[in-house]
Structure 1
Amino acid sequence: MGDFKRTVIRELPERKGEISPESKFWSDFEFPVTVKEFDAITHLEFSPIEPYQFAATTSNKVRLFNPINNQVDRTFSRFKEKAYCGSFRHDGRLMVAGGEECVIKLLDISGRAILRFFSGHERPVHLSKFTSDGLKIFSGADDTTVRCWDISSGEEVQQFQEFKDHVRCGDANKPSRDIILTGSYDHTARLFDLRTNSSIMNVNHGKPIESATFLPSGNIFLTAGGNYVKVWDALAGGRLLTTFGNSHKTITSLWLHESMGRILTGSLDMHVKVYDASTFGLVASLDYPAPVLCVAVSPVTNLLVAGMSTGLLSIKHKKKDETPQTEAERQQKQREKRLALRYFNKGNMYIPQEGDTLVPLKEREGLPKYDRMLQRFEHSKALDQAFAIGVRIPKPHVTFSVLQELIRRDTLKAALSGRNEKWIRLMLHFLKKHISNPNFVSTVTDVVDIILDVYEPVIGGSEELKKGFTTLRDSIEKELKYHQELEEIQGMLDAILIASQTDLDTNPDMVIAERDDILKASKEDMKTEAENALKR
């Protein structure tokens, strides 16, 4: 009996583009260490002094983590309810945190004592930070107020009541100790001068603002809300400079790394995006297993942390450079390589003697589950294994390869028979998802035909099946429409190419405009038309 022939998996070649140095840098972190908390991680911040501990605010506590061994150095748990926005002072000796208790607490890093309580807010405090000189604290709460407190006396020294909704974020201006930035769910961000009684600038972001921060110069600030970030020029009276963002869902946090000149954004779409702070262009993207609520990078760029809504804290360390630095280290490395090579080559130089019996070693290759079922002609079970969620989502080409094998054996109809309504709906959704993939479209049409043959009598009695087939039909019609439009575009391009070739044949000296020149000319024409419309 011959060996079983494995199912041929038709894998498509991967398209690997050129990896930029920026992408290589952000991908050059070790596999993340994850810490599971009981509640969402709402705020992350690194200490500005060595050893650069980072504070994670979650549930009713603020935890200080050691950046070397990822262990908890200290926990501030004297909160009766949820804590928010645990922030460091510029000298790294004090922290401040708000919370659901409507009280702001001043914490001593060297111990667990609470140095001061600042009471006055009537609703939960989500924003609590130090001013740039470290002598005052400003806070924002769900009572729509922004307040400033003196640390030495513990008294409230200023209060602003200009917002119409919850105040959720803010930042201190480093060059000026009296300027602070705050953002609110009423779509506005305001600059306050603590020496005055009202805001000095007001900008409208257009969405509830989740995060706001100054650039190092203090002249430009960013606001994040919705799925985009806006850049504002404070010196120009709050003029909008640009808008950027590549997230699909709400951006929840901003983190500016001054020395690298990079802006990081965390989003509910489970991604962290990295932007260049000078051009605001996207340079890297990082994936996470859950919606990201906060993100931070250590001042020396050797640690990347992200907090998620599920309570997961992801800690990524930069990979260490293992290249030998000294001559002794290089010699030791070469010695270890020689010893390892000698060990693994042991016995390879043995020459068989006359009279020795040679026994060939035949290694059996393990078969995947679907192949084992096909080997036993259990076609329904083979389809179940290939259609499992762990196969069809990450490796759809495996599922389609098994479907093609069942079609080749003429057993797909039997394998599809006897399925329940839920399984058929999942199969229809899977086929609809891949109907636009030219590598799978022929298999999709064959499978749909067989499903219709088997289940046509029962489709009318099930609203869910009817809905699934209707959705699949709409997807097919949409795909056919796309093909028709593409053929029309192809015809137009052919006509243009033929005309341009004819012009070149008749006039060889004619200069063809470059793409950038055409775009520039079209922009100038649009600008002229707009100016004429305004004059009219």
Structure 2
Amino acid sequence: MAAPFKKTSARHLQPRVDVKTTPDTIYWKNLDVPVTKKEFGAITDIGFCPTNPHYFAVTNSTRVQIYSPTSLQIHKTISRFKEVAYSGSFRSDGKLLVAGGDEGSIRLFDVDSKSLLRMFKGHIGAVHVTKFLADKTRIFSGSDDNSVSVWDIPSERELLSYREHQDYVRCGLASTSSQDLILTGSYDHTVKLYDTRMNESVMTFQHGHPIESVLMFPNGGICLSAGGNVIKVWDLLQGGRLLTSLRHHHKTVTSLSFCNNFTRILSGSVDRHIKIFDISTYKVVHTLDMPGTVLSAAVSPNDDLLVVGMAEGLLSIQKRKPPKEAKTRAKPTYRYNPAGKTYHPQKGDFVVLHKRKEQLARYDKYFKKFEFTKALDSAMKNGVCLRSPEVTVRVLQELMKKGAIKAALACRSDLSVGYIIQFIKRNISKPSFQRVLLDVANLVLDLYADQVGQSPVMDCQLTELRETVEQEVNYMTELSEVMGMLDTVFAAAAMKTNTTSPESAYSMTPSAVAQATDI
């Protein structure tokens, strides 16, 4: 009985990089394709409404645009600004919106009617920070005049003014656990914690870079500051002790926000990356690439939307995909009867295994029939040699092993030989293929040496192959020279180490020791 035919096993010689899949990777890859919109100017702030359906305000140019989370289209536009607007923020009930601007005034709007309710004046510089306090009746603002002010909404008057910062105040937030705590960051490299019941700051942290964004946990015990390419974590309960510094961005970090039910921190940077940190370990668990310079980023309270604003005026909106519904299995029919397929054999049963017919590739079928020329032709087809060159190389190895490589390459047309030479030229630079392809190239030259100079197609392919081989030889020569230089450097370093070591003194001659002592 003849031995069964063995399939040609094509080894994947190219290294494969395995990507580690984590729950965070799956969670963030569940976002849909981003919807990108072009706004009128740089998007400096994105704020989500805390109440359903979680509309989000996009502040850019001289307007604040409110988007719908379902249609991802503009729901309302507030454009009562003469100059650039900043920091459009919702109140906790979603009924009011406050924003600052280059004019130095603060505007309070009714979200439903878009009407201007209050205008607070007192700053002499651009107002970049406007937020509601937890009591809903006060707001605070931070300005380029280095001041932080607290305003009373009903009376439209300034209650407090702090002037401790020495540079622009560009970020800040109000604590959600206390109606009196305010956290601000300034370009003077400091983060300050204010209590509205006192006339001065109660805590100051030195970040070391101009502060672009601050963040505070809901319980008020820990806060974060972002400036430069560093994010620093501070413990407020222990007097502002530095817990850790995160240096995972390459350029300035511009935005911080919470996501995933306050278990993850999202940071955006000028380096066009969004990074997600685990708050338990402060390690990066996922990274998102953006098409522009990130200035602002926020995630909806229900984690359904990721909105990113960029300096180029691009707004990227990514919606989370809905959960897939479980597919119901069709009822069995006479054609697909599952009877007996769920039966498990008992201990005394005799099991007859049904072997499926092994499917052979086309070149293996030709190998089985000893048609070696056709086997090589099938392996040289574009669908095989372009997508899986290792298969073609393996077929060539099998032909060499069977002693049929010369017969498979002989008696071919100029066009067919040109395809083989082209394949060799394209893959001869790969180290794992070089030995086989060099043998095949030498055999092709031996078989068709008499046709060189007579076939334009073959001459052109051979010229290109010669140039490729010469280039590889030059690369190897340069590599050998570099290796020789490195060997010289390493040898000199080793000799210097041996000379300066204490043990080398014992190998010196008595005269050399005496001379060294005199010196």
> Could you tell me which of 177, 180, 188 is aligned with 1:178?
180
Contact 1:268 1:293 in 2 (8 A): yes
> Could you tell me which of 97, 100, 123 is aligned with 2:99?
97
- Report matched runs for 1:37-186 at 5 Å: 37-186=39-188
For 1:30, the aligned partner's letter is: D
Shift of 1:481: 8.2
Assess, with a 3 A threshold, how the Cα gap between structure 1 residues 102 and 478 changes in structure 2: closer, same or farther.
farther
Distance in 2, Cα, partners of 1:108 & 1:56: 16
Assess, with a 3 A threshold, how the Cα gap between structure 1 residues 144 and 330 changes in structure 2: closer, same or farther.
same
Contact 1:228 1:243 in 2 (8 A): yes
For 2:474, the aligned partner's letter is: D
Distance in 2, Cα, partners of 1:196 & 1:333: 73
Aligned to 1:246: 248
Shift of 1:192: 0.8
Assess, with a 3 A threshold, how the Cα gap between structure 1 residues 17 and 218 changes in structure 2: closer, same or farther.
same
Shift of 1:22: 1.0
Aligned-residue RMSD, C-alpha: 4.0
- Equivalent residue of 1:22, what SS? helix
Shift of 1:443: 6.0
Assess, with a 3 A threshold, how the Cα gap between structure 1 residues 190 and 104 changes in structure 2: closer, same or farther.
same
Shift of 1:18: 2.5
For 1:97, the aligned partner's letter is: A
> Could you tell me which of 190, 200, 203 is aligned with 1:201?
203
Task: Show structure 1 runs of 5+ residues with no match.
Answer: 1-9, 339-361, 369-374, 376-381, 387-395, 416-441, 453-471, 489-536
- Equivalent residue of 1:153, what SS? coil
Aligned to 1:316: 318
Contact 1:125 1:142 in 2 (8 A): yes
Task: Spell out, residue by residue over 1:422-474, the C-alpha distance to the aligned partner (whole angstroms, 9 max, x if none).
Answer: xxxxxxxxxxxxxxxxxxxx96773698xx9xxxxxxxxxxxxxxxxxxx9x9
Task: Show structure 2 runs of 5+ residues with no match.
Answer: 1-11, 337-377, 387-414, 416-421, 442-458, 495-519
Q: In the alignment, does 2:32 pair up with 1:34?
A: no
Distance in 1, Cα, partners of 2:485 & 2:114: 63
Shift of 1:479: 10
Aligned to 1:303: 305
For 1:138, the aligned partner's letter is: F
Shift of 1:146: 0.6
Distance in 1, Cα, partners of 2:37 & 2:207: 34
Assess, with a 3 A threshold, how the Cα gap between structure 1 residues 299 and 481 changes in structure 2: closer, same or farther.
farther
Q: In the alignment, does 2:332 pair up with 1:330?
A: no
Contact 2:120 2:157 in 1 (8 A): yes
For 1:173, the aligned partner's letter is: S
- Report matched runs for 1:217-232 at 5 Å: 217-232=219-234
> Could you tell me which of 263, 268, 271 is aligned with 1:269?
271
Task: Spell out, residue by residue over 1:160-193, the C-alpha distance to the aligned partner (whole angstroms, 9 max, x if none).
Answer: 1111110000111112111100000000010111
Contact 2:125 2:145 in 1 (8 A): yes
Contact 2:225 2:232 in 1 (8 A): yes
Shift of 1:331: 5.5
Distance in 2, Cα, partners of 1:483 & 1:69: 65
Assess, with a 3 A threshold, how the Cα gap between structure 1 residues 365 and 115 changes in structure 2: closer, same or farther.
farther
Distance in 1, Cα, partners of 2:218 & 2:325: 35
Aligned to 2:359: none
Aligned to 1:212: 214
Contact 1:216 1:258 in 2 (8 A): no
Contact 1:169 1:212 in 2 (8 A): yes
Shift of 1:68: 1.1
Task: Spell out, residue by residue over 1:41-95, the C-alpha distance to the aligned partner (whole angstroms, 9 max, x if none).
Answer: 1111111011111111111111111111111100111111111111111111111
Aligned to 1:446: 474
Contact 1:81 1:99 in 2 (8 A): yes
Distance in 2, Cα, partners of 1:281 & 1:135: 38
For 2:235, the aligned partner's letter is: D
- Equivalent residue of 1:23, what SS? helix
Contact 1:188 1:204 in 2 (8 A): yes
Assess, with a 3 A threshold, how the Cα gap between structure 1 residues 365 and 223 changes in structure 2: closer, same or farther.
same
Task: Spell out, residue by residue over 1:305-354, the C-alpha distance to the aligned partner (whole angstroms, 9 max, x if none).
Answer: 11111111111111122323xxxx7258999xx9xxxxxxxxxxxxxxxx
Identity rate of aligned residues, in percent? 43
Query: How many residues end up aligned between the 2 structures?
Result: 376
- Equivalent residue of 2:37, what SS? strand
Contact 2:260 2:303 in 1 (8 A): no
Aligned to 1:505: none
- Equivalent residue of 2:155, what SS? coil
TM score, norm. by length of structure 2: 0.64
Distance in 1, Cα, partners of 2:47 & 2:192: 23
Assess, with a 3 A threshold, how the Cα gap between structure 1 residues 167 and 445 changes in structure 2: closer, same or farther.
farther
Distance in 2, Cα, partners of 1:229 & 1:478: 45
> Could you tell me which of 233, 236, 244 is aligned with 1:234?
236
- Equivalent residue of 1:78, what SS? coil
Assess, with a 3 A threshold, how the Cα gap between structure 1 residues 122 and 443 changes in structure 2: closer, same or farther.
farther
For 2:328, the aligned partner's letter is: R
Shift of 1:148: 0.8
Shift of 1:119: 0.8
Contact 1:29 1:319 in 2 (8 A): yes
Shift of 1:253: 0.5
Assess, with a 3 A threshold, how the Cα gap between structure 1 residues 261 and 413 changes in structure 2: closer, same or farther.
same
Shift of 1:38: 2.5
Assess, with a 3 A threshold, how the Cα gap between structure 1 residues 277 and 481 changes in structure 2: closer, same or farther.
farther
TM score, norm. by length of structure 1: 0.63
For 2:119, the aligned partner's letter is: F
- Equivalent residue of 1:121, what SS? coil
Contact 2:88 2:99 in 1 (8 A): yes
For 2:50, the aligned partner's letter is: P
Distance in 1, Cα, partners of 2:247 & 2:484: 29
Assess, with a 3 A threshold, how the Cα gap between structure 1 residues 444 and 200 changes in structure 2: closer, same or farther.
farther
